[in-house]
Chains A and B, each alone.
Chain A
Amino acid sequence: MTTLRFKTLALAGVLAPVAFVFTGCASNQVRTVDSKSPQAINTSEINPQDWANAADQLVGSLLSAGPLDKAPSQPAILAVDRIINNTTQQVDTDLLIKKIRVALTQTGKVAVTNTMGLGERAVVAAEAAELDEMTTGKKAKVIAPHFTLYTKLIEQNQRINSVTQRTYTFQMSLVAVKTGLTVWEDEREIAKQSKKAVMGW
């Protein structure tokens, strides 16, 4: 009887830690990561690294080409045109545009107008201009942009057997307002392959 009880206790002693190991601690483990680091999660969708990468390369290309230096006055006034999103993803295109705006503004060579296009506070800017007119009695002076920036996002999907490739294309064009001519354009592609598991759902 004593032996049986001892065996039961010993078995329980062994099973308890094993069960603990397999079930693990019930609490969620959350850690903060740098969204732009190699440790960030990489999925087949456009992730923060992809946005930053595309923005960096497009800004580098725009600055290297030098069309902004040919503006009639400095800094060049830029209006952000609409962004066409032809991907299957519902994304906030500011993820790309804001990065480009910030980078261009930091160069000191560009001022982005908020009175037209996708100026992020265009409504408030317009109201402020109206208020200024009312208080001063003078028509607010709006500076016409020298350039407009047009962006398009495209997604292409290819599949062979269990491998799927998604190619995202970021196209950008800078148009001179006075002439309507495209003075710079470039595109960057990011291709991502994912493999579906043979087993599983």
Chain B
Amino acid sequence: MKSASRLLAGSLFAAGALATLSGCATNVNTVERAQSQATPDYVADKRVVTDNTLARTVRVNSVNQATVSGNLLKVQATLENLKNNPRTIRYKFEWIDQTGMAVSSPNETWKTLIVQGRETTTISSVAISPRAVDFILKLSE
């Protein structure tokens, strides 16, 4: 009787552990061209980390830029979720002009992004003023 109880307890523990380990994984598998044809203009970036938990959860793999509509700066960041489950983060792009002044925009707002487990995705923004020459990308959990 006692051994039956132990067997039942052991089975329940194993089942629980298995459920925990497998979890509700929503990881993303991807397929892409082996030799990329794109030639991004990568930006050498400087990073300031004040939230180590966030930095360990979502990583900025790269930042690249382009000019659209003749003279407007467009910036795109590639983010990767380092965890096995979906994460919600918030981000915001801010723009800076040649003199270091912030270029405000009525649409400059924190945006919500849900990244699936191990997914790599991109976020981008277009400066609405030709005066914008620099940017700050802010990330928050």
Q: Which A residues are closer than 8 A to B by beta carbons? A: 36-38, 48-49, 52-53, 55-56, 59-60, 63-64, 66, 68-69, 98-99, 102-104, 106-109
Among B69, B90, B105, B108, which residue has its beta carbon within 8 angstroms of that of A38? B90
State in angstroms the CA–CA spacing of A55 and B126 once bound together.
12
Q: Please give the number of chain B residues whose Cβ is less than 8 angstroms from any Cβ of chain A in the complex.
A: 20
Among B107, B130, B140, which residue has its beta carbon within 8 angstroms of that of A56? B107
Q: Which B residues are closer than 8 A to A by beta carbons? A: 68-70, 72, 74, 90, 105-111, 124-126, 128-130, 140
Chain B residues whose C-beta falls within 8 Å of the C-beta of A106 in the assembled complex: 105, 128-129
User: Contact at A107–B106, with CB atoms within 8 Å?
Assistant: no
Closest 9 CB pairs of A and B: A56-B107, A36-B109, A52-B109, A60-B126, A103-B128, A63-B69, A64-B68, A55-B107, A52-B107
Taking A103-B105, A109-B70 as known contacts, 16 extra A-B pairs with beta carbons closer than 8 A to each other, sorted by chain A number, are A38-B90, A38-B110, A38-B140, A52-B106, A52-B107, A55-B106, A56-B107, A59-B128, A63-B128, A66-B68, A103-B128, A106-B105, A106-B129, A107-B69, A107-B72, A107-B130
State in angstroms the CA–CA spacing of A104 and B107 once bound together.
11
State in angstroms the CA–CA spacing of A197 and B71 once bound together.
51
Among A55, A64, A99, A102, which residue has its beta carbon within 8 angstroms of that of B69? A64
Q: How far is the CB of A121 from chain B (nearest CB, A)?
A: 18
A-B contact count (CB 8 A): 69
User: Contact at A69–B69, with CB atoms within 8 Å?
Assistant: yes
Chain A residues whose C-beta falls within 8 Å of the C-beta of B129 in the assembled complex: 106-108
State in angstroms the CA–CA spacing of A59 and B126 once bound together.
8
State in angstroms the CA–CA spacing of A36 and B140 once bound together.
14
12 pairs, A vs B, C-beta closer than 8 Å: A36-B110, A53-B109, A55-B107, A59-B126, A60-B125, A64-B74, A66-B69, A102-B106, A103-B106, A107-B129, A108-B130, A109-B70
Chain B residues whose C-beta falls within 8 Å of the C-beta of A108 in the assembled complex: 129-130
Q: How far is the CB of A170 from chain B (nearest CB, A)?
A: 13
**Chain A binding site: helix, strand, loop or mixed by DSSP?**
helix
Q: How far is the CB of A34 from chain B (nearest CB, A)?
A: 9
Chain A residues whose C-beta falls within 8 Å of the C-beta of B110 in the assembled complex: 36-38, 49
Chain B residues whose C-beta falls within 8 Å of the C-beta of A36 in the assembled complex: 108-110
Chain B residues whose C-beta falls within 8 Å of the C-beta of A48 in the assembled complex: 109
Known pairs A66-B68, A107-B72, A109-B69; A59 contacts B107 (CB<8 A): yes
Q: How far is the CB of B43 from chain A (nearest CB, A)?
A: 17
Known pairs A69-B69, A107-B129; A60 contacts B124 (CB<8 A): yes
Q: How far is the CB of A179 from chain B (nearest CB, A)?
A: 21
Chain A residues whose C-beta falls within 8 Å of the C-beta of B140 in the assembled complex: 38
State in angstroms the CA–CA spacing of A60 and B72 once bound together.
10
Closest A residue by C-beta to B103: A106
